[in-house]
Structure 1
Amino acid sequence: MQTPAPDGSGHPRRWWILGVLSLALFTTVLNNGLLNVAVPGLVRDLGIDLGRTQWIVDAYALTFAALLLTAGALSDRYGRKRATLLGAALFGGASLLAPAADGPAQLVAARAAMGLGAAFMMPGTLSILNQVFPARERPRAIAVWGSVSALGVAVGPVLGGLLVSHFWWGSVFLVNLAPVLVTLLAGAVLLPESAAPVPRPADPVGALLGAGAMAALVYGVIQASGHGWTARPVVAALALAAGAAAAFVAWERRHPSPVVDFELLRDRNFLGASAGNMLLFLGIAGTLFVLTQRLQLEFGYSALRAGAAVVPLALAVGVGSAFAPAVARRGGPRGGVAGGLALAAGGILCLGQASGSYPPVLLGCVLIGVGGGLALTPATDTVIGLVPAERSGSAAALNDTLQELGNALGVAVVGTALARGYADGTAALPEEAGRSLGGAVEYAGRQGPEAGSAVVAVAEHAFAGAAATALGVAAAVVAAGAVLSWVLLPGAAGRGTAGRRRRVPSVAADD
């Protein structure tokens, strides 16, 4: 099995390898931006409410998060290149199935299959990057990797808007096929294969308990959008999530080779970086879910114009990522992560104050993007520098699991705030008009001009108020991440490259 070059020199083809790894990441990021713009079309064509829309968006992130730990362990065991290419193939196959869905259940299943593919792709990208780059070049490589992720965020809404404007919502899935094909062909030639010298035993019980806890948590939060937080299904789901989480911790503490390395979870640096990442992704995912709908339904933008309107956010991530290594050198991980999160929280608050005018939207997008870019690079560098290279797949998977859990919870929590606020504001309207703003407009079109305009006015006012509240929730979450990162991460005196930071010893027997 091919091994990377020693840490001092790096792999001779490391920058070409970075290109393949970045493209794999681009593929996993691209479709969320595509789908967010297509949400109003999905609501209209499939006749669904906001709760089912949340499931279509969240099926991907939830499956992604639930299986990442298992996928990371399997990639350590059987090979990271093999896992990355298998994941790309699964992702591409599911992208072919999604446009054929004729109902929400089939589309949710296809999105879950895409999440399965992404779960195998993602851990390999960071662990291979960690191995082929020397410590002195790794922050720069991670900044490039993060900038390409931002490019996926930028291209997704615009390309999605273009496709939805000229074709139908299913076209946003077919566009995944081109980057998947390039990833498979280039990856087969360029990626080095690597695996743990002594693979860890499997932990299927731990994997199932962890996945069950996350699924029950997200299910309960989404169900609250239609039933309220005190409804019996919601309380039961949240209780099941708590029980599964407790069983997961108890099982993992006794297992000789747990799927979660508790030494990492006891490390302040890992907790500060990963919690900051998770809450950042939670806030941004929820914000984009609300913003792309708000631009189309409240501001009256077309799908293409709405996609173009959020491009500055993604471009600003690239700017923030470019400056992140310099900021982290001066302020340490604390300054980069906490400062970036605080900037992003301020940007989300700006979006909440926008009312039919684009300049506040532009300012908010730029602040969110720059803040996210400043935070992501030092947080990721901190995480992957804490473990030996042979355990990098599992460490990357744990970090990515928390990020994707943040994505899933972002759509669930912020989307639920939007749905509950809209439902409360339209309680006096007929049920059809209370499902979504688009449904209210269609209902009003069948009424007389006077009655129809009154329905639309109530629905628009309810949606605007609910969107502002939901974005306030997202801003509060990201601000909480800034506080946690400031408390837990070291400042300039404790900074250092990944190679100089204290590595966390593994609790697994193979290490």
Structure 2
Amino acid sequence: MTARPDAARPGAARSAAAPPGTPDPRRWWALGALVVCVLVLGFDLTILNVALPAMASQLGADTGEQQWIADSYIVVFAALLLPAGLLGDRFGRRRMLTAGLVVFLAGSVAGTFAGSPEQLVAARAGMGVGAALVMPLALSVLPSLFGDEERSKAVGAIAAGAAAGLPLGPLVGGWLLDHYWWGSVFLVNVPLAAFGILACLLLLPESRDPAAPAVGAVSTLLSAGGLGALVFGIIEGPGRGWTDPLVLLALSGSAAMLAGLVLHERRSERPLLDLGLLRRPAFLWNTLTTSLTTLVIAGLLFLLPQYLQAVLGYGAFDTGVRLMPMMGGLLVAARCAAPLVRRLGARTVVSAGLVVLAAAAFLGAATGPGDGYGWAALWLTVAGTGFGFAVVPAMDGALAALPADRSGTGSGLLQTLRQVGGAVGVALLGSLLAGAFTGRLDTSGLPGPAADAARESVVAAHLVATRLDAPGLAASADAAFVHGMSLALAVCGVAALVTAVFTALRLPGRRHRDA
């Protein structure tokens, strides 16, 4: 097995112990460091959920400020993924990955000691800048470390690390809040980011594209503004309403900026938004499959914590523990995906994984108000297994289809579409859940203000029921939430099945690189 070509290009450093043309002996240690990096990014997407009430109380943050504390990270993260990939191609992927970890570490320190909501929003935005550099470049350095046969295992480890971080957020955050103050949810990032920086400097070979163009200011502003406005509009739509002026302004402004970006980039020889990559069938269909699969799994992870906490009554830490069956299924699938792809082909494995994911969603849609955790654990395990078999070969196939000199920009485009898919999944399923919950909740006999408060969410309904000593309202809230969750999971199942059909029809059957 030989190393990928980009590892041997000018500017790519190899281990002194490894003769040219042989795999770097440090590659598995380097992969472990990358997994730690993406794990931290994953749980930073969800760790704030359990710490936000304490932060809001101590910092005096109002509702709008709390939304910005939660959303600033993901908005900046998604907005900067495209230029981050090009920066890695131009200036060196190891160098920019290390820089991203430094920025992420600095943002974490600032968040730990923030004394106002504004400072915390700024710190979270800084962490988003760092995360935008780390995530695509963690993928784009893999071809310089691993050959075709090993790369799918490496991609599986990265995917498992990123996905495992999502349920670890409430788990780690709940434990820290039980023992320390709210700033500890940021402080925990510091030693992990420092470890990642050291590992990048010592273990990763440098790789770059000497012919990569400069990062244009106009392209960067249009891509960052367009993607940031799109994700912001999607996040705010369910809460504010899709006809809210701010949401409409964000979405229309996003459409205008992204259209301007496409027009501007069409005149560029090496564009920031390299839509030419989408003309490669393997990259196009693997990327779409990955994005739609992320949409489904993001919806599941949005619904499940609410169900476990509000309906089944578990705390934040216990909820994180009970999401682990999904991670178990994902880890098993990530380990088994590569040999199955070699034997059956990517199209068969990805399509089958999507069918399994759809089956898990339909099992979840059959949940009743009286069902306990055992049923949820069953379909969570099935969901993790299906997700692993679908997303790991699809991500590996997308990377394999990229030219070696465009792995940074291609990984940035892949991750951008994944993040947008996840945001769309949460927004649309959240809207569906909210509408079904409000329509089914029985608030008859309640005073007007209490009824309005109960309709806001299942958590609010339980608080009203406790305050008014109304067990009937609590039971109605549980039934209404489970009904809404079942509808949303049914939609997830249909989306996974539709994706499976398109994958079976269009995805290349055997792994190959496009010429």
Q: CA deviation at 1:332?
A: 1.7
- Change in 2 beyond 3 A, CA 1:307/1:60: same
Residue 329 (structure 1) aligns with: 342
Distance 2:227 2:35 in 1: 27
> Shift in Å at residue 393 of structure 1?
1.3
Report the equivalent of 2:433: 418
**1:423 Cα deviation from its structure 2 partner:** 4.5
Measure the CA separation in 2 of the matches of 1:204 and 1:176: 31
Match of 2:389 in 1: 374
The correspondence for 1:486, drawn from 504, 507, 513, is 504
| Match of residue 400 from structure 1 | 415
Deviates more, 1:274-283 or 1:110-119: 110-119
2:189 match = 176
After superposition, residues 191-230 of structure 1 pair within 5 angstroms as: 191-230=204-243
Relative contact order, CA 8 A, sep 6+: which one is greater? 1
AA aligned to 2:480 is A
Q: What amino acid maps onto 2:501 in structure 1?
A: V
Does 419-428 or 192-201 show the bigger shift?
Answer: 419-428
Question: 1 CA distance for matches of 2:302 and 2:116?
Answer: 21
Identity value in percent: 38
Distance between the aligned counterparts of 2:365 and 2:487, measured in 1?
8
Amino acid at match of 1:272: W
Q: Measure, in 2, the Cα distance between the counterparts of 1:102 and 1:445.
A: 33
Instruction: Give CA-to-partner distance per residue, 1:401-440, whole Å, 9 cap, x none.
Output: 1122223223322233333444455586444333333333
1:333 to partner: Cα distance: 1.9
**Are the counterparts in 2 of residues 295 and 301 from structure 1 also a CA contact under 8 Å?**
yes
- The SS at the match of 2:148 is coil
Structure-2-length-normalised TM-score: 0.86
Are residues 234 and 149 of structure 1, via their aligned partners in 2, closer, same or farther at CA, if it must alter by over 3 Å? closer
CA contact (8 A) 1:203 1:258 kept: no
Tell me how far 1:324 sits from its aligned partner: 0.6
What does residue 7 of structure 2 align with? none
> Which residue does the alignment assign to 1:442?
463
Which aligned pairs between 1:297-336 and structure 2 lie closer than 5 A?
Answer: 297-336=310-349
Corresponding residue to 2:32 among 10, 14, 19: 19
When structure 1 is superposed on structure 2, of 62-71 and 169-178 the one drifting more is 169-178
Render the CA deviation track for 1:205-235: whole Å, top value 9, x for unaligned. 2232233333333333333323433444444
RMSD across aligned positions (CA): 3.0
Range with greater deviation from structure 2 (455-464 or 122-131): 455-464
Q: Give the unaligned 5+ runs of structure 1.
A: 504-511
Q: Name the SS of the counterpart of 1:343 in structure 2.
A: helix
- Equivalent pair of 2:402/2:513 in contact (CA under 8 Å): no
* 1:388 pairs with 2:403: yes
Q: Using the alignment, how far apart are the partners of 1:55 and 1:92 within structure 2?
A: 20
Shift of 1:58: 4.3
Instruction: List per-residue Cα deviations over 1:228-249 (Å, max 9, x = no partner).
Output: 3344444443333333332222
Partner of 1:3: 13
> 2:492 is matched by which residue type in structure 1?
A
> Is residue 30 of structure 1 aligned with residue 47 of structure 2?
no
Structure 2: give runs of 5+ residues left out of the alignment: 1-10
SS of match in other structure, 2:82: helix
Amino acid at match of 2:497: A
In 2, the alpha carbon distance for the partners of 1:246 and 1:224 equals 21
Over 3 Å counting, the alpha-carbon distance change for 1:357 and 1:139 in structure 2 is same
Deviation at 1:331, TM superposition (A): 2.9
Q: Cα gap change, 1:42/1:244 in structure 2, threshold over 3 Å: closer, same or farther? A: same
Q: Is the 8 A contact 2:283 2:399 kept in 1?
A: no
In structure 2, do the counterparts of structure 1 residues 411 and 38 end up closer, same or farther at CA, with 3 Å as the change threshold? farther
- Residue 484 of structure 1 aligns to which amino acid in structure 2? F
Give the structure 2 partner of residue 508 of structure 1: none
1:464 aligns with 2:476: no
By how many angstroms is 1:148 displaced? 3.4
Structure 1 contact 345–479 (Cα < 8 Å) conserved: yes
Are 2:261 and 1:282 aligned? no
Which residue of the partner structure matches residue 513 of structure 2?
501
Q: Which moved more, 1:465-474 or 1:34-43?
A: 34-43
Q: Distance in 2 between matches of 1:17 and 1:23?
A: 10
CA pair 408-44 structure 1, distance change in 2 beyond 3 A: farther
Inter-CA distance 56–141: structure 2 relative to 1 (3 Å threshold):
same
Equivalent position amino acid for 2:13 in 1: T
**Alignment check: 8 A CA contact 2:89 2:408 kept:** yes
Shift, 1:485, TM fit: 2.2
Distance 1:420 1:167 in 2: 38
TM-score by structure 1 length? 0.86
| Deviations 1:38-78 (CA, angstroms, capped at 9, x unpaired) | 577779987877x9877655433332221111011111111
| Match of residue 8 from structure 2 | none
Alignment check: 8 A CA contact 1:226 1:420 kept:
no
Structure 2 vs 1, CA of residues 34 and 230 (structure 1 numbering), >3 Å: closer, same or farther? closer
Structure 1 range deviating more: 240-249 or 303-312: 240-249
